[in-house]
């Protein structure tokens, strides 16, 4: 009697990261974008959400997890998705500044809410950038073949304070993005490479512009 075929080994969960937190973040960014006033959106308001959805839905269905050995095509699709969201948010920020400078038809309160939406979208987008680009991306981090890290987390310099085999996940990068957008500088996680420093610098500038505009407009409204 022939020996039964050996069972395949169960997947190593340490080499897998769920995509759903990032997917929810992208959906949140899309929701914020579609609620912006038409004067703060470049072109028809449905174009970018449709393009993003056309990438996000099949990507999430076909690749619900990031894993070691991930195909390069799925990572390229993820980068294109983030870039589309980033272009839309930058365009909205520029249009917001234009509205404030020319005292356009949008009311002050509407502009305030729009600025908050742009700020939150900025946090989401840069969290996605950090997650996707650090150490060559999630696949290389999970495989343990990553090049030198772009970010130094406290757990990396103090491994005794973290579980064995700890790796940053999307929520860690989202937190880095939030603190950078709030403090306009790194907090507990430090950028190590020019890429990381450039991204954090660009995010801080965008956040500072948005917050300054909100503060200035709030003074005018309340005054």
Q: What end-to-end distance do the CA atoms of the chain give, in Å?
A: 89
What residues contact 93, with CB distance under 8 A and at least 6 apart? 118, 122, 206, 209, 210
Residue 1 has what pLDDT? 44
Give me the half-sphere count of Cα atoms (radius 13 Å) on the Cβ side of residue 175.
11
- Please check whether residue 134 is in contact with residue 151, taking contact to mean a CB–CB distance below 8 angstroms: yes
Residue 24 has what pLDDT? 97
Three-class SS string for the chain?
Answer: CCCCCCCCCCCCHHHEEECHHHHHHHHHHHHHHHCCCHHHCCCCCCHHHHHHHHHHHHHHHHCCEEECCCCHHHHHHHHHHHHHHHHHHHHHHHHHHHHHHHCCCCCHHHHHHHHHHHHHHHHHHHHHHHHHHHHHCHHHHHHCCCCCCCEECHHHHCHHHCCCCCCCCHHHHHHHHHHHHHHCCCCCCEECCHHHHHHHHHHHHHHHHHHHHHHHHHHHHHC
Q: How far is Cα 194 from Cα 46, in angstroms, rounded to an integer?
A: 35
Residue 87 has what pLDDT? 96
- Please check whether residue 78 is in contact with residue 59, taking contact to mean a CB–CB distance below 8 angstroms: yes
Instruction: Say yes or no to pLDDT of 79 above 50.
Output: yes
Residues 150-202 pLDDT 10s: 999 988 888 887 888 888 999 999 999 999 999 888 888 999 999 999 999 99
Residue 218 has what pLDDT? 63
User: Where do the domains of the chain lie?
Assistant: 17-222
Residue 112 has what pLDDT? 84
Q: Residue 171 corresponds to which tokens in the numbers above?
A: 């929520």
- Please check whether residue 51 is in contact with residue 84, taking contact to mean a CB–CB distance below 8 angstroms: yes
Average pLDDT of the chain to the nearest whole number: 86
Instruction: Say yes or no to pLDDT of 12 above 60.
Output: no
Instruction: Say yes or no to pLDDT of 100 above 90.
Output: no
- pTM confidence score: 0.88
Greater model confidence, 32 or 103: 32
> Which of 47-51, 137-141, 142-146, 157-161: highest mean pLDDT?
47-51
């Amino acid at each position: 009697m022939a020996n039964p075929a050996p069972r395949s080994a169960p997947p190593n969960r340490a080499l897998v990261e769920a995509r759903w937190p990032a997917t929810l973040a992208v959906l949140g960014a899309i929701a914020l974008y579609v609620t912006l006033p038409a004067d703060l959106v470049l072109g028809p308001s449905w174009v970018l959400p449709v393009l993003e959805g056309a990438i996000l839905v099949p990507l999430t269905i076909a690749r619900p997890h990031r894993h070691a050995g991930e195909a390069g095509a799925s990572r390229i699709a993820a980068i294109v998705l983030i870039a589309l969201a980033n272009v839309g948010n930058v365009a909205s920020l520029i249009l917001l500044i234009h509205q404030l400078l020319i005292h356009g038809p949008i009311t002050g309160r509407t502009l305030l809410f729009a600025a908050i939406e742009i700020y939150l979208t900025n946090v989401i987008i840069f969290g996605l950038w950090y997650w996707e680009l650090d150490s060559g991306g999630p696949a290389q981090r999970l495989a343990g073949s990553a090049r030198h890290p772009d970010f130094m987390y406290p757990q990396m310099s103090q491994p005794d304070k973290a579980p064995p085999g700890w790796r940053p996940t999307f929520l860690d990068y989202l937190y880095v993005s939030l603190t950078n957008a709030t403090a306009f500088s790194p907090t507990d996680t430090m950028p190590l490479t020019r890429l990381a420093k450039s991204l954090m610098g660009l995010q801080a500038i965008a956040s500072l512009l948005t917050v300054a505009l909100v503060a200035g407009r709030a003074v005018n409204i309340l005054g």
